[in-house]
Amino acid sequence: MLSQLSDTHLRQTILDIFSAGIDTSRITLYFAVRYMAGLPEIQSKVQEEIDRVVGKDRLPGIKDRENLSYTEATLHEIMRLGTAAPVGLPHSTLCDTRVGYDVPKDTMVMINHWALHHDPNYWKDVEKFDPTRFLDENGKLGMKPESWLPFSAGRRVCLGETVAKPELHLIFATIMQRFKITLPEGTNPELELGGSGGFTQPAPYEIIVTDRINT
């Protein structure tokens, strides 16, 4: 196998690690900070849960994740409304396929994640930021909605999903535990989109960060 690992393969693998493994997480956290700055009531609920479950004397850990359901649901809602890769990555059909219409072999196929995450047939009040849509009647994280696919789906689902989810949770929970994030006075709380190419991200913004632990 090593004999087949050329310089081209190495460059492509490293590019994948940085673009798929780092950029998407960075953009998701960029969305997270902006949403929390514009939604102080949601931010307060996240911080109340973290203070209750984790406290302020230590950082959140992996074992805390199952008890931080509202925090996790908030992150899910961030990934729904702030879809980092709106049409994912291109794939190709291996054979002639029919999915309501004919798709010939070797056709490039892309999943419109943005459309799935903004489909009013699956999401009530589709443009409203509402973490509770991911919680069950007991306030715990419920089953994953079939129209929530930030990591794609099927056999070619993102290989980094099992790493990205706990990683994003740890970083997000730690930011929320330690800092209060607000917008400068006079800033429109509504998030504006920016970005280019295959990624979507918030338009450039300014925030005010206040230490919650040492003040």
Dihedral pair phi/psi, residue 191, rounded to 5°: -75, 135
pLDDT of res. 202: 92
What mean pLDDT is predicted for residues 14-19?
74
Residue range 5-34: mean pLDDT, rounded: 83
| Cross-strand partners of 135 | 141
Average pLDDT over residues 156-180: 89
In this predicted structure, what is the pLDDT of residue 197? Answer: 65
Q: What is the pLDDT of residue 15?
A: 79
Is the pLDDT confidence value at 39 over 80?
yes
Q: Are strands 201-202 and 193-194 parallel, antiparallel or unpaired?
A: antiparallel
- State pLDDT tens for residues 61-98: 999 999 999 999 999 999 999 988 888 888 888 999 88
The chain-wide mean pLDDT, for the chain, equals: 90
Q: DSSP states of 108-163 as a string?
A: EE---HHHHHT-TTTSTTTTS--GGGGB-TTSSB-PPPTT--TT--GGG--TTHHH
Please return the burial class of 120, using the count of CB atoms within 10 Å of its CB with bins 0-12, 13-18 and 19+: exposed
pLDDT score recorded for residue 161: 79
Helix (H) or strand (E) holding 102: strand 102-103
- Report the pLDDT value the prediction gives residue 1, as an integer from 0 to 100: 60
Specify the DSSP class assigned to residue 141: B
Cα–Cα distance for residue pair 43/40, rounded to 1 Å:
5
Whether 95 has a binding-site annotation, put simply, is no
Higher pLDDT, 31 or 19: 31
Residue 167 carries which side chain, given as an amino acid letter?
E
User: What are the structural domains, with CATH classification, of the chain?
Assistant: 2-211 (1.10.630.10)
**Would you state the structure tokens that stand for residue 138, as one six-digit string?**
């007991």
Percent of the chain with pLDDT over 70: 96
Q: Where are the alpha helices (DSSP H) in 40-140?
A: 40-53, 69-81, 113-117
In terms of average pLDDT, the best of 19-23, 38-42, 160-164, 186-190 is 38-42
Q: If we measure between CA atoms, which residue out of 214, 202, 215 comes closest to residue 37? A: 202
Per-residue pLDDT averaged across 124-147, rounded?
93
What was the pLDDT predicted at 2?
66
Rounded alpha-carbon distances, angstroms, from residue 78 to 7, 61, 155, 190 = 37, 21, 25, 14
Q: Has residue 6 got a pLDDT over 90?
A: no
pLDDT above 90 covers a percentage of the chain that reads 62
Query: Whole-angstrom Cα distance, residue 97 to residue 105?
Result: 7
pLDDT tens for residues 169-195? 999 999 999 999 999 999 999 999 886
Q: Of 74, 55, 30, whose CA–CA distance to 169 is shortest? A: 74
